[in-house]
Structure 1
Amino acid sequence: MPESPRSPRFGANYTPTQGWFHHWLDFDLDAVRADLDSIAGLGLDHIRVFPLWPLFQPNRTLIRPRAVEQLVALADAAAERGLDVNVDGLQGHLSSFDFLPAWTQTWHRRNIFADPEVVSGQEEYLRTLAAALADRPNFLGMTVGNEINQFSHDPHPDPDRISHEQAASWLERMIAACEAGAPGKFHLHAEYDAAWYQDAHPFTPAQAARIGAATAVHSWVFNGTAQRHGRTGVATEHHAAYMIELARAWHTDPARPVWLQEVGAPAPHIPAEHAAHFTERTIANALDCADVWGVTWWCSHDVARELADFPELEYSLGLLTNEREVKPAGQAIARIVEEWRDREYAPAPRTTALVLDTGDTVASPQRELCGPGGAFFEAWHRLTAQGVRPAVVLAEHEHDKEHLAARGITATATPSEVD
């Protein structure tokens, strides 16, 4: 695992301008290079890349060599522009669309987390992608998949239900497969916020905070936060920071990095004319938290209007237009990158912590109190509105003087005590 950087990393989730992620069907390296030029022009230092799993592994025993070669070519083109690359393996789910190979569906319907043959095929796929990139200096590592936890529980229309023990075992095996392909790289997994906010969800905060090289946070304010608190509400502008502090409560390694791997300004909750302000406030508040590895904005380029059936907000999330023109949020990111270029990242300790009790550290059966409208969520943001800069501490550590001292915490409060 790479050492925590002196300054945070800034990047973008790469959404190709030609064909969106379907570009792998008609891979055009010149178009990719032009996209990467526009990303590098913002001063960013890395991208997150998304192979489509059914296109790369259309059969359980066929991982297409040409597709892997194209992925390596993309990584090499990024290196030429000074961009490091993280690769998400199991796609999985992207922007409301599911991408699962035929050998897991319909007549071959099998649980993607529990079926032995499917899991073995996933391991070989992740190992193959990691191994193909292992010798590239700009290859950061693998993310197991993009929010693949959404396949495991409600509200997915056809979930592959598993226990939290099965989820942990599956994650351990997937991370081990990435490590086997590219030893020593920055391998991790990433879930959407049901892992933090949904009771009984099989993917848990403890898994997110303890498996893999870093804890990934995906912060989206369309989850009820902006609807409840408005576009400039404290909870809206601090949602990413809140999730980072929530994640840190479960860490057993006090120096474990947190990667704000997805965050964006979704319209209409964040109107286009306010996207730059939201971007600036979100990043400033996130970097007021310790141990943040970096911020990776969703996304690099807008989705082309010629593509049908996306939720409306998905078309306008880019830092750049589909014609590669810089948008106000992109201009804000460029300013932030420049401001941080020679700036030391050393946020002050958060000396007051709000005590969180989810019922059990491992399974966390009572997580809804952490989500928008929940007692803990609302209390944390009331403290923030008072200028307190709260951390989060699990109830089991509330009276653990050694744990509190290691984190610089000198005072604690419970949600019921917050005015």
Structure 2
Amino acid sequence: MTSRVRFGANYTPSQGWFHHWLDFDLDAVRADLDSVAALGLDHIRVFPLWPVFQPNRTLIRPRAVEQLVLLADAAAERGLDVNVDGLQGHLSSFDFLPSWTQTWHRRSIFTDPDVVTGQADYLRTLAEALADRPNFIGMTIGNEVNQFSAGPHPDPDRITPVQAERWLDLLLAACEEGAPGKLHLHAEYDAAWYQDDQPFTPAHSARLGAVTAVHSWVFNGTAQRHGRTGTATEHHAAYLVELSKAWAEAPHRPVWLQEVGAPAPLVPAEHAHTFTEATVVNALDCEDLWGVTWWCSHDVSRTLADFPELEYSLGLMTSDREVKPAGRTIARIVREQRERPHRPSPRTTALVVDAGDDDTAPRRSVCAPGGAVFEAFARLTADGVRPAAVLASRADDAAHLAARGITEVVTPDEVR
């Protein structure tokens, strides 16, 4: 942990996307990382493909692990730290699950004892391989793996919140065994905060692992409802950062804005840089922000088929490594923050969040776009209030409020 906010990118290889692991080209990786470092960023988030690295439950390919280490070392040569997501899992609308969990071998990736043991072995192996690298930040269990646990996934492995917590605890422990003392965490897409029946809960995100990760995507109904320049749209990432703190047990638990991007056509290409600036500047006005990691480093090449249209244009750079306006915006913000870092003051007004039971949040849709908490937060923000969020169960807890610098509490019904 450092006192300054970290800035990075989710590394999407310019050649072959994440399929580059099948034809690993270290020179191409080095060229990509040169372009990332040139923006002034200090870290990347890396995505091994689970079926490529562990094609059989008892086979974790040594050569694939060696290539991951080579990538990490190439990053270190360019001043870039590395976070590694193990279970991919899900990326840009595509699922990558090994054959030993599917069809004739169909079994739950969350509860089958053999599968979970295999996952733990895999994560431990990756962590061990990087444990002695000074630029290794730590492991993220996987990318938005919660999407496999409930609808709208077409074939989910349904589980309970208790089973989700057990799975997270086991795999976080495996990461810690492999690389003791590193920053190990888990990361879910925003259904964890917004979807009533999602078994991965806000409490899991805000209490398990070294930091809380939030992923901010305004195609979730926010931009559709509020428009490209709406307060709720430009503050969505900041909202998730503040919302997560309502469930945190430590008053100043770090929050990592681990994914955020400018999705077309809701954010047209010609406006991506303005959305980028507003989103990052607003997030920087949140205390306890560990870092901002933009999605993504490079565009998906148009030579690859069947991606949703928006996925082709999310990069800070093109697939030819040409810096786009959003990339120049990020680079400027990074320079400014290193020269004159913004030190946000405490948010003294807190909006009450009543999602039912604190552990399972059965009514957390009040926090989703259109929900009472979401819309009240946007209205307060538009009025310049800089709201925080506090659980209803803590709204009268003087010690908790004082620890967070909160002096006033309001309910959604009181917001006009």
One-letter amino acid matched to 1:250: W
What is the aligned partner in structure 1 of residue 245 from structure 2?
248
One-letter amino acid matched to 2:254: P
In the alignment, the residues of structure 1 paired with residue 256 and residue 409 of structure 2 have an alpha-carbon distance, to the nearest angstrom, of: 26
One-letter amino acid matched to 2:196: D
SS in 2 for 1:280: helix
In the alignment, the residues of structure 1 paired with residue 84 and residue 220 of structure 2 have an alpha-carbon distance, to the nearest angstrom, of: 26
In the alignment, the residues of structure 2 paired with residue 148 and residue 246 of structure 1 have an alpha-carbon distance, to the nearest angstrom, of: 21
Contact 2:252–2:404 (Cα < 8 Å) also in 1: no
Question: Aligned to 1:215, which of 208, 212, 215?
Answer: 212
- Displacement of 1:46: 0.2
Task: Tell me, yes or no, if structure 1 residue 236 matches structure 2 residue 233.
Answer: yes
Contact 2:355–2:363 (Cα < 8 Å) also in 1: yes
Within-5 A mapping of 1:116-265: 116-265=113-262
Question: Aligned to 2:314, which of 299, 314, 317?
Answer: 317
SS in 2 for 1:288: coil
Task: Tell me, yes or no, if structure 1 residue 333 matches structure 2 residue 330.
Answer: yes
Range moving further from structure 2, 341-350 or 95-104 = 341-350
Question: Aligned to 1:39, which of 33, 36, 39?
Answer: 36
- Displacement of 1:200: 1.4
In the alignment, the residues of structure 2 paired with residue 345 and residue 208 of structure 1 have an alpha-carbon distance, to the nearest angstrom, of: 26
Kindly report the root-mean-square deviation, in angstroms, between the aligned alpha carbons of the 2 structures: 0.6
SS in 2 for 1:158: coil
Question: Aligned to 1:408, which of 399, 405, 408?
Answer: 405
SS in 2 for 1:77: helix
CA change 1:334–1:344 in 2 (3 A) is closer
Within-5 A mapping of 1:304-383: 304-383=301-380
What is the aligned partner in structure 1 of residue 10 from structure 2?
13
In the alignment, the residues of structure 1 paired with residue 156 and residue 44 of structure 2 have an alpha-carbon distance, to the nearest angstrom, of: 30
In the alignment, the residues of structure 1 paired with residue 144 and residue 315 of structure 2 have an alpha-carbon distance, to the nearest angstrom, of: 19
Contact 1:8–1:345 (Cα < 8 Å) also in 2: no
Contact 2:251–2:400 (Cα < 8 Å) also in 1: no
- Displacement of 1:255: 2.1
* Residues 267-318 of structure 1: CA deviation (Å, up to 9, x unaligned): 0000111111111110110010000000000000000001000000000000
- Displacement of 1:160: 0.1
- Displacement of 1:342: 2.9
One-letter amino acid matched to 1:207: H
Contact 2:300–2:312 (Cα < 8 Å) also in 1: yes
One-letter amino acid matched to 2:402: A
Percent identity at matched positions? 76
* Residues 359-406 of structure 1: CA deviation (Å, up to 9, x unaligned): 010000001110001111001100100100000000001111111111
One-letter amino acid matched to 2:230: G
* Residues 303-354 of structure 1: CA deviation (Å, up to 9, x unaligned): 0001000000000000000000000000000000000113344211100000
Which residues of structure 1 form unaligned runs of 5+? none
SS in 2 for 1:294: strand
One-letter amino acid matched to 1:150: Q
In the alignment, the residues of structure 1 paired with residue 172 and residue 342 of structure 2 have an alpha-carbon distance, to the nearest angstrom, of: 29
In the alignment, the residues of structure 1 paired with residue 370 and residue 249 of structure 2 have an alpha-carbon distance, to the nearest angstrom, of: 28
Task: Tell me, yes or no, if structure 1 residue 389 matches structure 2 residue 386.
Answer: yes
Task: Tell me, yes or no, if structure 1 residue 285 matches structure 2 residue 282.
Answer: yes
Aligned length: 416
Return the TM-score normalized by structure 1.
0.99
Which residues of structure 2 form unaligned runs of 5+? none
What is the aligned partner in structure 2 of residue 103 from structure 1?
100
CA change 1:185–1:345 in 2 (3 A) is farther
What is the aligned partner in structure 1 of residue 265 from structure 2?
268
